[in-house]
């Protein structure tokens, strides 16, 4: 097990996709997992039930990560119920693809709000809680598109994901004196609802160029996140781990 008894982890966007796989993996590795969701209550409850069936420990909590007061409330609850937070994984994220020339200001702001502002709000509250125990690990979810520009129609998403990398670097500098680590995982194309939304011709074309010849599975990202979150990665902070099947050929 990667985590000692009593360890507490919060996974934003833990109801579906990569966050779901991360929640299951952290629980299997011994952490009590708080599964955050915005709208998918049934999915979040299912993740909690699955973890409990496997003998793990989990609860779910509704909060829109763009809502400052809702995020603060979640952390007040964690402080009251557990008095600690060992791991934060920020997986809540959205795409809102559209070519730039037809993109409205609101459409540009959508992914920035959820992906970047949501990451800022949750990391800020997590650092406040973690620094008291002088330990903790934050793992943010960026995307390889934040490094290579993604595909056409994703300027808003790519801007948010590039900013998450820069933000996490800066966060790791501020967090280090408090004994807290912060790292980024930047996945390529992973089979989740997010990529199922991409028009089939674009998805197929992209997939055919991945050097390993296939899209990633959420579990393959989750194992990297758990490693970074754990003491096995005790000398890693400010690192970006890219998991994109070798990239595009």
Q: Known catalytic residues?
A: 157
d(CA 141, CA 243): 11
Cβ closest to ligand NAP, residue 136 vs residue 162: 162
16 forms part of the interface with ligand NAP (CB under 6 A): yes
Is the separation of the CB atoms in 157 and 97 below 8 Å? yes
Is the separation of the CB atoms in 8 and 87 below 8 Å? yes
DSSP percent split of the chain into helix, strand, coil, nearest 5: 50, 15, 30
Is the separation of the CB atoms in 122 and 106 below 8 Å? no
Output the smallest distance, CB 51 to ligand NAP, in A.
15
143 forms part of the interface with ligand NAP (CB under 6 A): yes
Phi then psi dihedrals of residue 64, to 5 deg: -80, 120
37 forms part of the interface with ligand NAP (CB under 6 A): yes
120 forms part of the interface with ligand NAP (CB under 6 A): no
38 forms part of the interface with ligand NAP (CB under 6 A): yes
Output the smallest distance, CB 103 to ligand NAP, in A.
18
Helices in the chain by DSSP H: which ranges? 17-28, 41-53, 68-81, 105-111, 118-133, 145-148, 155-175, 193-196, 200-209, 218-229
Is the separation of the CB atoms in 157 and 150 below 8 Å? yes
Cβ closest to ligand NAP, residue 56 vs residue 93: 93
Residue 16 structure tokens: 């579906």
Cβ closest to ligand NAP, residue 37 vs residue 108: 37
- Of the residues 57, 195, 223, 239, which one makes contact with ligand NAP according to CB under 6 A: 195
Backbone dihedral region for residue 83 (phi beyond 0: left; psi -120 to 50: alpha; all else: beta): left
- Of the residues 112, 194, 236, 240, which one makes contact with ligand NAP according to CB under 6 A: 194
- Of the residues 15, 122, 154, 183, which one makes contact with ligand NAP according to CB under 6 A: 15
Site string for ligand NAP, 43-62 (x = CB under 6 A): --------------------
Output the smallest distance, CB 239 to ligand NAP, in A.
16
114 forms part of the interface with ligand NAP (CB under 6 A): yes
226 forms part of the interface with ligand NAP (CB under 6 A): no
190 forms part of the interface with ligand NAP (CB under 6 A): yes
d(CA 114, CA 90): 10
| CB atoms inside a 10 Å sphere around CB 127 | 19
121 forms part of the interface with ligand NAP (CB under 6 A): no
Among 139, 241, 245, smallest CA distance to 188 is for 245
137 forms part of the interface with ligand NAP (CB under 6 A): no
Applying CB under 6 A, which residues contact ligand NAP? 12-13, 15-19, 36-40, 64-66, 91-94, 114-115, 118, 141, 143, 187, 189-190, 192-195
């Amino acid at each position: 097990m990667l985590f000692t008894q009593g360890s507490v982890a919060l996974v934003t966007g833990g109801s579906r996709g990569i966050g779901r796989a991360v929640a299951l993996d952290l629980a299997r590795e011994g952490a009590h997992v708080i599964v955050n969701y915005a709208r998918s209550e049934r999915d979040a409850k299912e993740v909690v039930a699955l973890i409990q069936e496997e003998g793990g420990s989990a609860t779910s909590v509704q909060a829109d990560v763009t809502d400052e007061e809702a995020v603060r409330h979640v952390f007040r609850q964690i402080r009251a119920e557990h008095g600690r937070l060992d791991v934060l994984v920020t997986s809540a994220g959205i795409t809102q693809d559209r070519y730039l020339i037809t993109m409205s200001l609101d459409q540009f702001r959508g992914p920035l709000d959820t992906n970047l502002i949501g990451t800022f709000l949750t990391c800020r509250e997590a650092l406040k809680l973690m620094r008291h125990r002088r330990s903790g690990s934050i793992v943010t979810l960026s995307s390889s598109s934040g490094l290579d520009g993604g595909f056409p129609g994703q300027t808003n998403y790519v801007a948010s994901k590039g900013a998450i990398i820069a933000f996490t670097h800066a966060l790791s500098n501020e967090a280090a004196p408090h004994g807290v680590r912060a790292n980024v995982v930047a996945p390529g194309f992973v089979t989740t609802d997010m990529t199922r939304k991409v028009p089939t011709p674009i998805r197929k074309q992209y997939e055919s160029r991945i050097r390993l010849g296939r899209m990633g599975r959420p579990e393959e990202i989750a194992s990297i996140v758990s490693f970074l979150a754990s003491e096995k990665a005790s000398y890693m902070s400010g690192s970006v781990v890219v998991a994109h099947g070798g990239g595009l050929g």
